[in-house]
Amino acid sequence: MKKAHTILSHLVNQPQFKFLKQQRCYKKYISLLGAKYQKAIAFIYIKDNTLFIAVTHPGFKMELNYNKDLLKSVLTQLTNHDEACSEIQADKIVIFHSKYHPVEKKKESISTVPYYHELASIDFDIKSDDAQIIEKFEQIKEQIKCNK
């Protein structure tokens, strides 16, 4: 029985799955960059010797434009040191904002329903002679007592 690693390596080496190798190299390239750049980059791809970098926010675009030389040098070092990634080479770098990149929303456990504490007290005198009004005020006192 073949192991899963053997089957996957065989599949990756098939010509129709050559893009899987490239994706591994792209992920490795992003991991070589700093944490700030890893957060900024949504995805990358190479087409016609041009490295296209999609950023998650338009503010990161200017930051990465200033550091194109760094991005290019990291790519050349990756291709020099990793034989599996030797086919990814780029002469130019294009940085763009990907408006279709899904923004990860953090799930907050804080409830937005406000809960208020009872501020009323049951220390009030009922100054009425009517039995119905006295009964209603007694019910109000019980309600306040339950809410505290």
Domain boundary assignment for the chain: 4-97, 116-148
Instruction: Find which of 4-8, 19-23, 42-46 is predicted with most confidence, using mean pLDDT.
Output: 42-46
CA-based angle 25:30:31, to the nearest 5? 95
pLDDT at 19: 78
Model pLDDT for residues 56-111, shown as the tens digit of each residue: 888 899 999 999 999 999 999 999 998 888 888 899 999 999 877 665 666 666 76
| Partners of 14 in beta bridges | none
Model pLDDT for residues 50-63, shown as the tens digit of each residue: 999 999 888 899 99
The Cβ of residue 29 has, within 10 Å, a number of other Cβ atoms equal to: 23
DSSP characters for 61-110?
A: HHHHHHTHHHHHHHHHHHHHH-GGGTT---SEEEEEE-TTSPPPPPPP--
Token pair belonging to 95 = 């940085």
- Give dist(CA 148, CA 142) in Å, integer: 10
Look up the CATH architecture of domain 4-97: 2-Layer Sandwich (3.30)
Largest CA distance in the chain: 97
